[in-house]
Structure 1
């Protein structure tokens, strides 16, 4: 699978912006030998000392975010995943302080589910990457809350939700996307990956999939969810050795087989997403005949 979409990503790599100051979706099931144990990590009190210094992130209190989301009302839920639920919240445009619902600007507030599969480690990775990396094709992290057992993240609001919704949950709210929009989304995602791969300290995204590709009101692409991201290999190393983590159907077979992580692992996932966008089929779909469960296996012949 590689050369075609590898070249697509390489072709946009020279246009990325610089890095500041730092040298359970329906698509498939998240997996990892360390995922379940990470839920217990969230019970351990941690300090802000683990968070890299970043002057552009706002520190919110839990009380503020309760106010901003109407006490995390079910009416404000935007979605849910391995991390927990995401709520619509409101903040003042200038001071960034939480405001009453309906006033100020809309944000997305992600709240860690203490019983979930992702814990403090992923929450911290999200802050430390998105707090330092800035690019038009990465979702903007506005701030966070670390108070007692509460861990929350506050992002810019993405009006058109995820690419997954547009591909697989069609209806009056998610009409089919024209081919021009699909290609715009694919190019934006490629630019986001190219920026990560060519950063001063390379970043491997490790969980590229349609549910992590968000769209703003103009269908501009923003990559989200950096909980599984890792720094790439340094020096003369060709790869990073890790426990296998990611999402079935998107993870590169050589990574699954060896645990050797490289930027090419992301490029494989990018190819799977392109197949989804072109075919309208999910990466993994157990509702289809057995020979068609895995999109890549079905598409190869």
Structure 2
């Protein structure tokens, strides 16, 4: 793709200035529609399992294209989840139920989408994010701002002149809804698109994110299950 991948833009201080709010919102909406196509509109349901900013390619018009289906799984027409004994994915983007129990589903992709959305509007990575002792991941930081009702503090500084406040707050709300701990609490992608594309004013109130990534000196994958979902810190690299 002529414009490389999404992470090339949003995590670079200079390149991020070329992505104004309208472009970022359109990218978010385009990614959501792409995931919905995989989950609902293909002949066989596809669960991507490795959705992340580096797997979102941008064409010459900055339209997003979901790429890298090396970990994708095709499930039955009516099947919405499956289980695997070997967890494969990327640290910071996989859901807690997948990391802990190997259960992946369309709601796992929803979780990953939520992380990507929050990264797009903040310009910050979820992994390696150490803002303070209270929030050592982007999800934890965003949740803290939400509970403190200082939502605009999450905004990428390069968006100050172009951001539409109502849309930004809606995106933050939706992002946090997508990364909730219980998969059944997360919206489906069809509902996400309705919330993004519609005029809905009153969105559901999100619950605490699935887990907060802490400082972890180990980069190896562990088969041991953590005592709680707040303790999931192991790196799970895509193979």
- TM-score bracket relative to the smaller structure: 0.5 to 0.7
8 Å Cα contact 2:47-2:109 kept in structure 1: yes
| Inter-partner Cα distance in structure 2 for 1:261 and 1:196 | 15
Indicate the residue corresponding to 2:126 in structure 1: 283
**Candidates 37, 49, 55, aligned match of 1:206:** 49
Give the match's secondary structure for 2:22.
Answer: helix
- Alignment of 1:162 onto 2:5: yes
**Which consecutive residues of structure 2, in runs of 5 or more, have no partner in the other structure?**
145-239
Residues 252 and 160 of structure 1: is their aligned pair in 2 closer, same or farther, counting only changes over 3 Å? same
TM-score by length of 2: 0.55
> Which residue, 81, 102, 109 being the options, matches 1:239?
81
Any conservation in 2 of the 1:197–1:204 contact (CA below 8 Å)? yes
Q: Please, what is the CA RMSD of the aligned residues?
A: 1.9
In 2, the alpha carbon distance for the partners of 1:288 and 1:206 equals 28
Q: 2:97 aligns with which of 254, 262, 287?
A: 254
Q: Distance between the aligned counterparts of 1:249 and 1:260, measured in 2?
A: 16
Instruction: Tell whether the 8 Å contact from 2:3 to 2:57 is kept in structure 1 after alignment.
Output: yes
How do 1:51-200 and structure 2 match up within 5 A?
158-171=1-14, 175-198=17-40, 199-200=42-43
Spell out the pairing of 1:211-230 with structure 2 (5 A cutoff).
211-230=54-73
Query: Which structure shows the higher helix fraction?
Result: 2
**Aligned counterparts of 1:270 and 1:210: Cα–Cα separation in 2:** 9
Q: Give deviations 1:204-232, integer Å, cap 9, x for gaps.
A: 00111111111111111111111110112
Q: Aligned partners of 1:201, 1:233: CA distance in 2, in Å?
A: 6
Q: Secondary structure at the match of 2:17?
A: coil
Residue segments in structure 1 that go unaligned for 5+ positions in a row: 1-157
Q: Which residue of 2 aligns with 1:274?
A: 117
Go from structure 1 to structure 2 and tell me whether the alpha carbon gap of 1:182 and 1:292 turns closer, same or farther (over 3 Å shift): same
In our comparison, the structure showing a higher alpha carbon Rg is: 1
CA distance in 2, matches of 1:191, 1:213: 13
Q: What is the TM-score with the length of structure 1 in the denominator?
A: 0.44
Q: 2:135 — aligned with what? A: 292
Separation in structure 1 between the aligned mates of residue 129 and residue 37 of structure 2, nearest angstrom = 34
Q: 1:192 aligns to what SS in structure 2?
A: helix
Any conservation in 2 of the 1:252–1:268 contact (CA below 8 Å)?
yes
How many residue pairs are counted as aligned between the two chains? 142
